[in-house]
Structure 1
């Protein structure tokens, strides 16, 4: 009986093996498996659970012997027997051999679970039955795994298919929406696909183009030859990016920039060409226009008369020839330099502020004057005009530069000349008033002295008053020299003779610790000059040199002939072309700072300690030189001494240098000559009249022209001498003289004045040979002048 049962089970097992695996339908295979077991064993209860390993649960797939619906899921690891009992299944006790459970597993992976409750009659052959069930389960396990794998692959394929469809949809949307031509060609040029944007560019619809030859449609004539060469390069894989001009349906030519990809088969042959083309016609036209514009402006910049440059990221990315010439660097040198390397350090902040201003305020332009340091170390003033631009796609600043160094020097020289002129006018006016006052002070002191005994104690006080007045007179004289209102007597002089005559005096004046060296040109030209004033210039410059060498040193006095040309005059605008004699005084003293040099000719400006000078020495030099139609150049650096160079016009008249003979003191008294004195200052008039009257002159004094005319007519013109102030309250002195001389041609004239300005007609006075007495004058000077005129 046992052998018969075993054979029966083997036969059923064979049939089960043949029945399973005929399909990939899990439901069908599971039912075949369960139905075969039910037919063979007729169990009281059978439950087949199939695992879903991805979700970690077991699903009841087939059930027999109880009413629980299939499809119910339970967690993996749950006690299935207890779960069945809880669901109402009638189960034998746990120790009943008819209660069997088998796991469908492969390589330790649980694929399912089979629970079986056998009928009691199979208890005697339970071993054979269990073996049968285990073998049957092992048959079903690989089938179950294959089906599950298939289903998993099927699901994956479905997902991939959906994703592919979605990708294709997105790809088509992208291709159709992109504002470029997208086309696919086969190797012969036949159009396999083209997007709708092609119609916007070429005028052809995609439907018109599909199946047509791309090259023949869009590249007829000469263009087709280019296509042939291009396709040969396609075959080699050499072409990826290129530009070509196609012909549209309307005959218009458009430039297309292509990016292409070659699709090859397994043998490496090109089977398709995928191309994306962008219409760059307008861009190409803009590029051509930009190149033409850049070339035009490059020509303008290269041939401009002003410097042109472009500053970007603190580098000079463009510099024209004028700017290169201005700074002295080559283009290669400029390109390697930071722009601040040739900007004067004092102007860095100004330039940085300009840059920042452009970045923050977006100003249209700005103009400044800055200093640049050339390659040779020279400092040049440049007027820069800056505008913000975009250069090669990035922000930049374009600037122009004009060398204004000479203009600034001209302005500076003009300002200095105007300042000196204004100071001169002021100084002359002050000196005039002082001279009137000093004439009275000095004169009355002398008159009082004449009334005293030699041992009178008041005499000493009067002498001090005279000495103070003399010092004040000297001061006003220097002011007049500076303001060029001091009357001068011009004669033809040779400066070599003047310098030689003064050497002994200068040596004593300078001191033993300073040597004087001369370099006098043997063929020096003459100059028309006032001898006394030129001596004053030489002495003042020598004293200035001495003061610059407190520890001793050397003074060099040099003379030479100079032919001044226009080039020199462009550098020194106060100069003029012609022949000049130049004499210079050089010292090796402490030198001067630039800010000191700017003010050295100003009256009362001094670097000496208080009480160590009047500050008029160089001012007097300036005034005298200007009065001689000359100019002064000064060259000085701290610690390197100074050179003062005086330029005076040359003359080729013989030099006339003689001293006037003084009239003996005893011969100064008058002989009763009648004198008309016209002076508006009461003190000067009173002093002059008293002095003349004490010395045997008959004096008629008045204050203005009207009174003078009345006296002249009252005395019937019987006057020997007219002493008259140059400037009167109601008339010019010269005009009054002309009127009176017209009535008395024998009338002698002596002009007196504290200075001579434009109103005095000084040129007319000297031109007609009239004598002149400068205020303040002493008793002796007055008497000597009167005697000389009358003689």
Structure 2
């Protein structure tokens, strides 16, 4: 219906006939009602199709209304839902909680809760309910708008679990973790443990508080930290080593990982700090150990469990001659010499494979083929589980040490044999003194045409040969009397060269190569000649088919390097004389015995075995050294080193004074009856008056009883009192007493008895008449 103002209105017309001709129209304006109904239809439509679940519930819990989303989410039809209660939809909801909840809803007008209903298929999901209270007529209703928050709950649970997990990891981390924004705003328990403080102490402070003024490299901590912070905030993570200070001021080294993290849209720094003090200490120890291994003088070899070399130190390279590159990947057989048999190596490997340490001496071979004597310690390497991972070998080169020990043993042997030989020669000299002396007296008393004279000559000739033998023994034992004087070795060789050539066969070429500088030594000329004759004779016999014999001289300087290399000598200048031949040479066993007295490789009757022993003794008596280098079929070289002197004077022959007698009183003290008798007979024959003493004690007593004795002749070795003791007592009686010592030993042995050199005169046995008389007269005429 249209109103006068043009507005259209909805009306309800009721027509009632009064009679056939009249009726009553009732017009009711239902415009508002229509609008309300339309609104209700729209509301119903909206509620039915809303995405949220909408359910109306009565105060007894029965469902009054459910929209499409509720039906769809719960899996029930509308008819099914309208016949159910909330306790059927959510069996977990406690009935005793319903009344308090409804009371609260009525009082407050609204209620917000979360429930977990069960779908028709039995699955459970989460709903967030926003309920409003509605009272209509006699009924009370709750209009519940429900939203499925299952995914949100899962996300929240996941986030909560992540946060819990992060917090657990954060707190249980083995490294210190700090969250920094200008100052420290968060840290884990490890941080407090590492820095030795409580959380209140560390929070709100800057990292500079926990850093020294300067870092290990000299950088200022504040400047360096600021630079790293800027770089990190620019998106460049930082990883570096840093020196921190604990709360008590002690410093420690750490590795720091600095990254930028976003928290609620703001940039923060996360610092993960690892204390590397122990690692740095371990690294330093490993560095020192590595340096020690690299610089060790001993060979160090490390192999794997199969024995393949993994590492060798520089000492291995220096000693064996193999480079590290050549050795790695090889086995220790690389230096095997072939000296040891299979059983030796089987024992070695069985020992170390069984987990034990093998120690012993082993002979290996250098790259150049020369042999090395080594003391070795080989140990198995085990991991923490006790499994074998490899082997380590420590070897010390004792080649020179073995050589020195061999030389020492040889020297001891030579000393012992020399002492024995000297003792024999001394006793034999006493016998020869009497033999030669009395034979000479007999010779002097015999007529020149006596038929017995040739026999006496033969006795004297044989005695001279015996004396030569004793001189050889004394030379070997370094007890032969010698007269030292400055001698140019070059001059001595030139003077004897012609004689030496006469010793050689025509097929031997004698060559000399003498040093251009002076080669002056303190030596006994006759002894040097004997060395040359003996060595040349030996070389000749070693070259039956001819060859080359070379005599050379040089001046060498012995220093520590020389002594360390060759194993003998003392610092200073030495004259070297070498005698080399191209003969048969000799093996090691022969070289060991070559200087032994009476040792010879010559045929029976072709040598005494004293030639080289004599050379050895003479060299030692001259404070020199002798070496021999020889191999079978490679010839032989003898090298003699004698101390050089600055003197340029040469040895001159002394003229033997004429034999004269006298009438002075002489005391002769000699324990050997034959020698004493011979001496007294000779001296008496030449006019001297004689007093005899059989030992040192009688000599002192006789000197004390006869105050007018002009000369005392003392044997150096006597019973009761030796020559030195008797000499000292005699000089105590008369400091001006003149004494002549005699001995079958060298002058050095007499000195060893305690007599000061320069305060006595000396004559060597065997005594020859003319030499004895000349020496006595010389002393008496002073």
TM-score by length of 2: 0.61
> Which residue does 1:232 correspond to in 2?
none
> Which residue does 1:355 correspond to in 2?
349
Once residues 350 and 678 of structure 2 are traced to their aligned partners in structure 1, the CA distance between those partners, rounded to angstroms, is: 74
Q: Note the 1:107-256 alignment, pairs <5 A.
A: 251=172
Q: 2:441 aligns with which of 433, 444, 447?
A: 447
Assess if the C-alpha contact under 8 Å between 2:481 and 2:747 holds in 1: no
> Which residue does 2:30 correspond to in 1?
none
> Which residue does 1:79 correspond to in 2?
none
Matched, 1:365 2:383: no
Assess if the C-alpha contact under 8 Å between 2:432 and 2:766 holds in 1: yes
> Which residue does 2:761 correspond to in 1?
771
Unaligned 5+ runs, structure 1: 1-210, 225-245, 255-286
Distance 1:249 1:590, change over 3 A: same
Once residues 463 and 484 of structure 2 are traced to their aligned partners in structure 1, the CA distance between those partners, rounded to angstroms, is: 28
> Which residue does 2:323 correspond to in 1?
330
**Cα deviation code 1:271-321 (max 9, x no counterpart):** xxxxxxxxxxxxxxxx99999998886665445443222343242233233
Q: 2:721 aligns with which of 711, 717, 731?
A: 731
Q: 2:664 aligns with which of 673, 676, 687?
A: 673
Q: Note the 1:483-632 alignment, pairs <5 A.
A: 483-632=477-626
Distance 1:706 1:251, change over 3 A: closer
Assess if the C-alpha contact under 8 Å between 1:366 and 1:387 holds in 2: yes
Unaligned 5+ runs, structure 2: 1-153, 176-278
- Further displaced range: 440-449 or 428-437: 440-449
Query: When the two structures are aligned, how many residues end up with a matched partner?
Result: 523
> Which residue does 2:187 correspond to in 1?
none
**Cα deviation code 1:65-99 (max 9, x no counterpart):** xxxxxxxxxxxxxxxxxxxxxxxxxxxxxxxxxxx
> Which residue does 1:345 correspond to in 2?
338
Assess if the C-alpha contact under 8 Å between 1:247 and 1:253 holds in 2: no
Q: Note the 1:465-480 alignment, pairs <5 A.
A: 465-480=459-474
Deviation at 1:516, TM superposition (A): 2.0
Deviation at 1:453, TM superposition (A): 4.3
> Which residue does 2:369 correspond to in 1?
377
Pick the structure with more helix per residue.
1
> Which residue does 2:741 correspond to in 1?
751
Once residues 635 and 777 of structure 1 are traced to their aligned partners in structure 2, the CA distance between those partners, rounded to angstroms, is: 40
Assess if the C-alpha contact under 8 Å between 1:720 and 1:746 holds in 2: no
Deviation at 1:742, TM superposition (A): 5.8
> Which residue does 2:688 correspond to in 1?
697
Assess if the C-alpha contact under 8 Å between 2:696 and 2:725 holds in 1: no
Distance 1:603 1:213, change over 3 A: farther
**Cα deviation code 1:178-228 (max 9, x no counterpart):** xxxxxxxxxxxxxxxxxxxxxxxxxxxxxxxxx99999799879x99xxxx
Assess if the C-alpha contact under 8 Å between 2:539 and 2:549 holds in 1: yes
Assess if the C-alpha contact under 8 Å between 1:561 and 1:581 holds in 2: yes
TM-score by length of 1: 0.60
> Which residue does 1:781 correspond to in 2?
771
Once residues 458 and 428 of structure 2 are traced to their aligned partners in structure 1, the CA distance between those partners, rounded to angstroms, is: 18
> Which residue does 2:420 correspond to in 1?
426
Assess if the C-alpha contact under 8 Å between 2:380 and 2:392 holds in 1: yes
Once residues 582 and 759 of structure 2 are traced to their aligned partners in structure 1, the CA distance between those partners, rounded to angstroms, is: 45
**Cα deviation code 1:105-154 (max 9, x no counterpart):** xxxxxxxxxxxxxxxxxxxxxxxxxxxxxxxxxxxxxxxxxxxxxxxxxx
Distance 1:302 1:789, change over 3 A: closer
Once residues 556 and 157 of structure 2 are traced to their aligned partners in structure 1, the CA distance between those partners, rounded to angstroms, is: 88
> Which residue does 1:663 correspond to in 2?
657
Assess if the C-alpha contact under 8 Å between 2:380 and 2:388 holds in 1: no
Once residues 347 and 508 of structure 1 are traced to their aligned partners in structure 2, the CA distance between those partners, rounded to angstroms, is: 49
**Cα deviation code 1:607-628 (max 9, x no counterpart):** 2223221222122222222222
**Cα deviation code 1:536-559 (max 9, x no counterpart):** 222222222222212222222212
Distance 1:292 1:758, change over 3 A: closer
> Which residue does 1:136 correspond to in 2?
none
Assess if the C-alpha contact under 8 Å between 1:732 and 1:759 holds in 2: no
